[in-house]
Structure 1
């Protein structure tokens, strides 16, 4: 497991990459990496900062409920509690919360879950390209991370490492930031394609 400074360096670099892609506009979005499991500890990007300009020190160490550990100079993201829940339930080493347009549009069209199948890019998302129905869960938005966490856990499928929050954004996770990024990139393509085909 990384230490806080090493995690901060990685989180800053990934945030800059996602900002350049237009997926962390303004101060939106947040990323986390798991620092330890017993007890659960995560490093999460700090709230209210331009994600394209983060430094290794612009992260907050949080506990398993999403609360900052004592002595932190910055506030954690408002969604830190959901990061912690995903890390706990899914065993994720990294969670990325991004504001891509494609998942939000897809969730608007398929609020009960977004079905994907028979697409080669599913392999990059960690699933089979054929004969594998993938349903990306969609949950209603809430400012209460316990409510969102409960909704995530109720529909959690270990084989589907993503969650779309309606009219908000998407959470994608993996063993580390690189895996989470690759999955996020593939998921964005899949949802963009599926929405475009549905619209004719």
Structure 2
């Protein structure tokens, strides 16, 4: 790995460690659960993904693994396994053009998917602006897919529910995996965090009031 690649990977690792500490503080990444990624290169696609099996509240800049478009590790000298969900991170990044993909185990997202397995409808909420939609006169559906241990299956299910942005309607940059957790993405870490935090608030409100 070149010095430049090492520097970029460590920079990504520092960003992801800070985000993981934040989400752990919210109770969204208990123990070793959840995983976060940043795109390092686009062509070919390379992501830095939080390493598997580590306490997400205590990550360092070195606790990331580089993966390719299939979610498999790229560095032969790095014996650490990438997250089991790295393949879905890579697929979402490739499909949406996102620069960051965050996956956490927020409880209300799982409860919402249990109650509304066909998708969670939200409308007339000011916070919808934070994921790019109108606060009124628009029904936003946060999609739900079934859980599976095969990320190729999950990627196909993502494609079934993902609606790309159009000139009139932005995408919904969030998805729930039933009985598992939620994914959010954005052009960079700040955008992915914003989408994740706002979607979790909307889901929490929906679960509490319906």
1:105 correspondence with 2:111: yes
Find the aligned partners of 2:103 and 2:121 in 1 and give their Cα distance. Answer: 20
The answer for the alignment partner of 1:181 in structure 2 is 193
Long gaps (5+) in structure 2: 165-170
Long gaps (5+) in structure 1: none
1:32 correspondence with 2:37: yes
1:172 correspondence with 2:161: no
TM-score, structure 2 as length reference: 0.92
Find the aligned partners of 1:71 and 1:81 in 2 and give their Cα distance. Answer: 20
The answer for the alignment partner of 1:153 in structure 2 is 159
- CA drift of 1:155 comes to 1.0
1:65 correspondence with 2:70: yes
Task: Report the secondary structure of 1:73's partner residue.
Answer: coil
2:146 to 132, 140, 149: 140
The answer for the alignment partner of 1:45 in structure 2 is 50
Aligned-pair RMSD on alpha carbons? Answer: 1.2
Find the aligned partners of 1:135 and 1:79 in 2 and give their Cα distance. Answer: 23
- CA drift of 1:157 comes to 1.5
- CA drift of 1:78 comes to 0.5
Find the aligned partners of 1:33 and 1:194 in 2 and give their Cα distance. Answer: 30
- CA drift of 1:73 comes to 3.3
Find the aligned partners of 2:65 and 2:39 in 1 and give their Cα distance. Answer: 12
Check conservation: 1:97, 1:170, Cα contact below 8 A. Answer: yes
CA displacement, residues 10-64 of structure 1 (integer Å, 9 cap, x when unaligned): 0111111111110000100000000111100000000000001111111000000
CA displacement, residues 109-146 of structure 1 (integer Å, 9 cap, x when unaligned): 10001111110000112211112211111001000000
Check conservation: 1:58, 1:74, Cα contact below 8 A. Answer: no
2:81 to 75, 79, 84: 75
Check conservation: 1:61, 1:72, Cα contact below 8 A. Answer: no
Aligned length in residues: 198
Find the aligned partners of 1:115 and 1:6 in 2 and give their Cα distance. Answer: 37
1:119 to 120, 125, 145: 125
